[in-house]
A and B are shown apart, each in its own frame.
Chain A
Amino acid sequence: MTKVTMTVNGKSRSAEAEGRTLLVDWLREGLRLTGTHVGCDTTQCGACIVHLNGEPVKACSVLAQEVDGAEVTTIEGVAGADGTLSTVQQAFQDYHGLQCGFCTPGMVMAATSLLKENPRPSEAEVRHYLEGNICRCTGYHNIVKAVMAASGQDVPAVAAE
């Protein structure tokens, strides 16, 4: 075991890690930050997406020791200190962009990165960017609407067409 320290959601945090400890397990078990989810064993679902040094990555496919010293933002660090939801989180609520909520942390982290890179994406760009995020519930339409709304673009405020 080795002590690994990262800046997580703005604070320096430490926990032990084996060579094989994945970033997602270090966050969930080491720091008890369980908002980041594990939805698959195959690096395909995106439920575990966090921002590593500002970029979205799948925390289930990064080794904790490898990124010792990095800066990480998880879903717990997205809302304001007083609990005010971020624009993307609020839009997911307003447009019913979730049902069971399992994929939502990854969706919000990915969508937040998209809007940072591309503040006014087209619907096609939203769908393309979120290709690595799998949702078993919503059918994606309301997720896409939420992201469009979060980018300040007009979206019909109906739950589903």
Chain B
Amino acid sequence: MYDFELVRPTNLQEAIEALQAEDAQALGGGQTLLPTMKARLAMADRLVALSGIAEIKGICTDDNGRICIGGGTTHAAVQSGCAETFPALASLAGRIGDPAVRNRGTIGGSLANNDPSACYPAAALACNATIVTQNREIPADEYFLGMFTTALEEGEIVTEVKFPVPQAAHYEKFIQPASRFPLVAVFVARYADGVRVAVTGASSDGVFRWGEAEAALSADFSEDAARGLTAPDAGGMISDLHGDGAYRAHLVKVMCARAVKACL
């Protein structure tokens, strides 16, 4: 790893200012950034650690009943803190990586990174969560712009993520056991006004909504309706040594049906 200056702000304003410097980058839990820097695939002149900022940690419920999670909240804290209020999200958080990764890694880091196989993007998109920064609120539908690409601008910090809680939801993850990431995973969220289905691990454009499944399940929320779908086109799917595009496309359909079954 190339050397850098580490800054440890204790409030958001200091962090925002520290990130103004050239080649400064936020450090969340470091569970993606540090391995990447160790491999010299990334470098920075300055890392701004967010872990000392209490105001972007923790979980609460707002006046609209949305679950609001601070951007610096660890996966482990979401796992325990949402167990009662949003069990599908708690379960997702509790299956990220392993216990040691969950004790450091944060929801803000995961959403900022937007790995095409990451778990949180599926939940955020399926729930049309609102991603909050120091400057604005971004609906998930406008936030994910392709593999490792988001609507975040330079120096923008994910301070909070607000999830409208679905009537029923489930995250079905087909694990790639060597990396612990999903090979393919599907988050199904049922709301009074319809069903949303988000898929991660499959597309080379990153997380996406599966429109056909949403339409079919909004009309008939049943396992049969999910099983009756045609798998999405394999064309844009990731193909690697763990599975080719056709296999991933097939898994999307199977994971979706399993998720629906678990909701019922």
The one of A19, A56, A68, A133 that contacts B3, using a Cβ cutoff of 8 Å: A19
Is B264 at the interface (CB under 8 A from chain A)? Answer: no
Q: Chain A residues with Cβ under 8 A from B34's Cβ?
A: 22, 43, 61-63
Contact status A63-B6, CB under 8 Å: yes
Given contacts A18-B3, A41-B38, A66-B27, 18 further A-B contacts (CB under 8 A): A19-B3, A19-B5, A42-B39, A43-B34, A49-B100, A56-B99, A61-B34, A61-B35, A62-B34, A63-B6, A63-B30, A66-B8, A66-B30, A66-B51, A68-B8, A114-B99, A129-B98, A131-B98
The one of A19, A22, A41, A57 that contacts B100, using a Cβ cutoff of 8 Å: A57
Mask for A37-63, Cβ within 8 A of B = 1, else 0? Answer: 000011110100100100111101111
Give Cα A159 to B114, complex, Å.
45
The 10 lowest CB-CB distance pairs between A and B, nearest first, are: A132-B98, A19-B6, A43-B35, A55-B103, A20-B1, A61-B34, A65-B6, A131-B98, A58-B100, A20-B3
Total A-B pairs, Cβ < 8 A:
77
Contact status B5-A61, CB under 8 Å: no
The one of B27, B31, B35, B49 that contacts A41, using a Cβ cutoff of 8 Å: B35
Instruction: List 14 contacting pairs A-B, 8 Å CB cutoff, sorted by A.
Output: A19-B6, A41-B38, A42-B39, A44-B180, A55-B76, A56-B99, A56-B103, A57-B100, A60-B38, A61-B30, A63-B47, A66-B27, A110-B99, A132-B100
Mask for A104-142, Cβ within 8 A of B = 1, else 0? Answer: 000000100110000000000000010111000000000
Q: Chain A residues with Cβ under 8 A from B98's Cβ?
A: 46, 129, 131-133
Mask for A138-160, Cβ within 8 A of B = 1, else 0? Answer: 00000000000000000000000
**Residue total for B at the interface (Cβ-Cβ under 8 A):** 28
**Residue total for A at the interface (Cβ-Cβ under 8 A):** 29
